[in-house]
């Protein structure tokens, strides 16, 4: 079993980024893929630029009505727990599954205070480039280009771990495009990729599925009462 060590830290990025290539096997990835696409249709939520599944409940500022996770996701969480990423008081209880078709992405964002500030993401399907940006400061330009920090290539079967500043401060996003051009001067985890060198200069996107695994501290035992009374 791989352990979370300094050898897995992305040296050219802030110190709270870890990248683990081949965290799961292709066989394990195939099983996860089948479970994702074998989920009942009501489990999918369609957004304007992608669709997703919530497992464990739907996070809400007032608290999450917790639901039991299926065995196939509990197995993933158990494997991550062996790495020491989460302590026993913050065992992951929520998994967000995103599907990205070629040309789809997600705008730069922070995951926010509803979650414990550690996020672990397993990637399936297409490789992709994820970009990171500094927050808007009163004395700096608000343009994305001026706030660009670095990029990571996320390969299939890999695990990305963001903690502390990389979770709380720096925004992350995926550009809406069908092809990623690989600029080795910008991609900070080139030395840790599983792909044999040299890495292709471009990534033609196919369907990508990400499993974002987090701990929601505030959970409820009764259903939320939303709206006016």
Task: Count CA atoms within 13 Å of residue 12 on its CB side.
Answer: 14
Find out whether 125 and 208 touch, Cβ atoms under 8 Å.
yes
Mean pLDDT across the chain:
91
pLDDT band at 24 (very low <50, low <70, confident <90, very high): very high
Domains and CATH numbers, the chain: 6-220 (2.60.120.590)
Checking if the pLDDT of 228 tops 50, the result is: no
d(CA 81, CA 64): 22
Region for 32 from its dihedrals, namely left if φ exceeds 0, alpha if ψ lies in -120 to 50, beta otherwise: alpha
β-pairing, 64-65 vs 94-100, is unpaired
**In the numeric block, which tokens belong to residue 40?**
């009942």
What's the pTM value of the predicted model, to 2 decimals? 0.91
pLDDT digits (tens, 9 = 90+) for 163-204: 988 999 999 999 999 999 999 999 999 999 987 667 889 999
Q: For 46-68, what is the mean pLDDT?
A: 95
Beta bridge partner(s), residue 97: 53, 211
The Cβ of residue 227 has, within 10 Å, a number of other Cβ atoms equal to: 5
- Listed in sequence order, the residues at least 6 apart from 182 whose beta carbon sits closer than 8 Å to its beta carbon are 129, 153, 199, 200, 201, 202, 203
For 103: left if phi > 0, alpha if psi spans -120 to 50, otherwise beta; the answer is: left
34, exposed or middle or buried, with CB in 10 Å at 0-12, 13-18, 19+? Answer: exposed
> What does the block give as tokens for 84?
């020491």
Residues 95-109 have a mean pLDDT of 97
pLDDT for the residue numbered 13:
87
């Amino acid at each position: 079993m791989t352990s979370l060590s300094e050898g897995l830290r992305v040296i050219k990025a802030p110190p709270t980024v870890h990248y683990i290539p081949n965290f799961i096997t292709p066989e394990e990835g195939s099983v996860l893929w089948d479970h994702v696409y074998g989920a009942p249709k009501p489990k999918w939520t369609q957004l304007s630029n992608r669709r997703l599944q919530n497992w464990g409940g739907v996070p809400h500022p007032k608290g999450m009505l917790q639901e039991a996770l299926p065995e196939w996701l509990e197995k993933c969480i158990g494997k991550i727990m062996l790495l020491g990423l989460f302590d026993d008081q913050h065992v992951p209880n929520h998994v967000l599954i995103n599907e990205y078709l070629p040309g789809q992405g997600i705008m730069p964002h922070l995951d926010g205070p509803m979650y414990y500030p550690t996020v672990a993401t397993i990637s399936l399907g297409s490789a992709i480039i994820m970009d990171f940006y500094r927050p808007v400061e009163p004395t700096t330009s608000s343009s994305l280009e001026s706030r660009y920090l670095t990029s990571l290539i996320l390969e299939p079967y890999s695990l990305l771990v963001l903690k502390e500043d990389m979770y709380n401060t720096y925004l992350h996003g995926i550009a809406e495009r069908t092809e990623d051009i690989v600029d080795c001067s910008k991609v900070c985890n080139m030395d840790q990729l599983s792909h044999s060198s040299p890495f292709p200069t471009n990534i033609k996107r196919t369907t990508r599925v990400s499993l974002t695994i987090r701990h929601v501290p505030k959970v409820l035992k009764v259903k939320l009462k939303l709206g006016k009374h």
